[in-house]
């Protein structure tokens, strides 16, 4: 049975907005979260035009009390079938900077790791009680690489990958699926901040269509574009010293 009530964080732009459009259809209730209320309403209107019912909530997801309160309120009103934790902050450090800006590192850690981990834990409990549900965490291919140009970003995504796997094992007996999505480069405002090269860059709508189809099959792991699957496997075979050398020159 296709999920009916779908929460998407970071739905005001980029991949989140594309995921909202990919799930918008008659019978779907979309809960679209982000900070920018104007953009959220624009995306909601696009989803409504496709036949979905869309509700928007604008708040800063780093506000953990607001996050858990909004989740509980939404879940009481319409039990969430599918929760997609997509909101994220990029964070590349300029070559000439001595280190990452500490406040930037904190924001990245809070948006990319703390908020999805807290949110997923909260909704996992409610889904386990119902004996059904699906949680999707949007990670990154960066989880596989100790990126010197984005130490905190890479670390948050690596942490999220471990969390997703552990949670999926824990939730299996409750019929709650957990999916980790690890994208390469998707053309969004975030990736436009990253200097080229961006191999295998794909549009957000193409990425969202692939992700939505695999979510519907309850895939545990989604890596896209597909070229990153062999690339990731190959780099795992490299001695760590060689990988460090390559990355130090990147
Ligand atoms: N684009 C890529 O190449 C790429 C590759 C791998 C993984 N990813 C992952 O894909 C996800 C989506 O990224 P994207 O490329 O679509 O980025 P994006 O275009 O910058 O969009 C990020 C979304 O996250 C929301 N967000 C950021 N900080 C927030 C906060 N404090 N509170 C609430 N919402 C917040 C933004 O909302 P507001 O604008 O309303 O603040 C926006 O909707 C992220 O988890 C990212 O790490 C992206």
At 146-195, the pLDDT tens digits run 999 999 999 999 999 999 999 999 999 999 999 999 999 999 999 999 88
Long-range CB contacts (within 8 A, 24+) of 44-47: 44/20, 46/17, 46/20, 46/21, 47/20, 47/21, 47/23
Number of domains present in the structure of the chain: 1
Atom of ligand 1 nearest to the CA of 141: 6
Atom of ligand 1 nearest to the CA of 18: 16
The string of pLDDT tens digits covering residues 20-67 is 999 999 999 999 999 999 999 999 999 999 999 999 999 999 999 999
Residue 86 alpha carbon to ligand 1 centre in Å: 7
pLDDT at 3 over 80: no
Domain extent, residue 80, equals 5-249
- Six-digit token string for 45: 């209107």
Give the pLDDT score at 94. 86
CATH number of the domain enclosing 86: 3.40.50.720
Identify the DSSP state of 235: H
Residue 37 alpha carbon to ligand 1 centre in Å: 15
Return the closest-CA partner of residue 152 out of 198, 207, 97, 211. Answer: 97
- Asked if residue 91 lies in contact with residue 128, where contact means CB atoms within 8 angstroms, the answer is no
The string of pLDDT tens digits covering residues 73-130 is 999 999 999 999 999 999 889 888 999 999 999 999 999 999 999 999 999 999 999 9
- Asked if residue 207 lies in contact with residue 228, where contact means CB atoms within 8 angstroms, the answer is no
Beta strands in 59-122 (DSSP E): 82-85
Share the mean pLDDT of the chain. Answer: 96
The string of pLDDT tens digits covering residues 59-86 is 999 999 999 999 999 999 999 999 999 9
- Threshold 0.95, pTM exceeds: yes
Residues in the chain: 250
Atom of ligand 1 nearest to the CA of 40: 40
Q: What percent of the chain has pLDDT over 70?
A: 99
195, with CB counted inside 10 A (0-12, 13-18, 19+), is exposed
CA dist 104 and 233 (Å) reads: 31
pLDDT at 1 over 60: no
Determine the residue of 7, 9, 12, 15 to mutate for testing ligand 1's pocket, defined as the one with the most ligand atoms within 8 A of the Cβ atom.
Answer: 15
Ligand 1, CB cutoff 6 Å, lining residues: 10, 12-16, 34-36, 60-62, 86-89, 111, 138, 140, 183, 185-186, 188-191
Span between the terminal Cα atoms of the chain, in Å: 46
In the beta sheet, which residues pair with residue 55? 31
Atom of ligand 1 nearest to the CA of 90: 47
């Amino acid at each position: 049975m296709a999920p009916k009530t779908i929460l998407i964080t970071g739905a005001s732009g980029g991949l989140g907005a594309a995921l909202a459009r990919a799930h918008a259809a008659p019978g779907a209730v979309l809960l679209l979260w982000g900070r920018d209320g104007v953009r959220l309403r624009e995306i909601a209107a696009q989803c409504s035009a496709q036949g979905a019912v869309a509700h928007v909530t604008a708040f800063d997801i780093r506000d953990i009390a607001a996050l858990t309160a909004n989740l509980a309120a939404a879940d009481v009103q319409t039990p969430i079938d599918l929760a997609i934790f997509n909101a994220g902050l990029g964070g590349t450090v300029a070559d000439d900077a001595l280190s990452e800006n500490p406040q930037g590192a904190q924001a990245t850690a809070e948006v990319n790791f703390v908020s999805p981990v807290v949110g997923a834990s909260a909704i996992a409990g409610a889904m386990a009680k119902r004996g059904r549900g699906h949680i999707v965490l949007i990670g990154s291919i960066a989880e596989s690489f100790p990126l010197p140009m984005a130490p905190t970003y890479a670390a948050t995504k690596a942490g999220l990958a471990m969390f997703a796997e552990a949670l999926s094992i824990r939730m299996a007996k409750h019929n709650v699926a957990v999916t980790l999505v690890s994208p390469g480069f998707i053309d969004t405002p975030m990736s436009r901040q990253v200097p080229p090269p961006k191999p295998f860059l794909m549009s957000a709508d193409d990425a969202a269509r692939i992700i939505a189809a695999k979510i519907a099959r309850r895939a545990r792991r989604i890596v896209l574009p597909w070229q990153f699957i062999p690339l990731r496997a190959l780099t795992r075979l490299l001695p760590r010293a060689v990988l460090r050398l390559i990355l130090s020159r990147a």
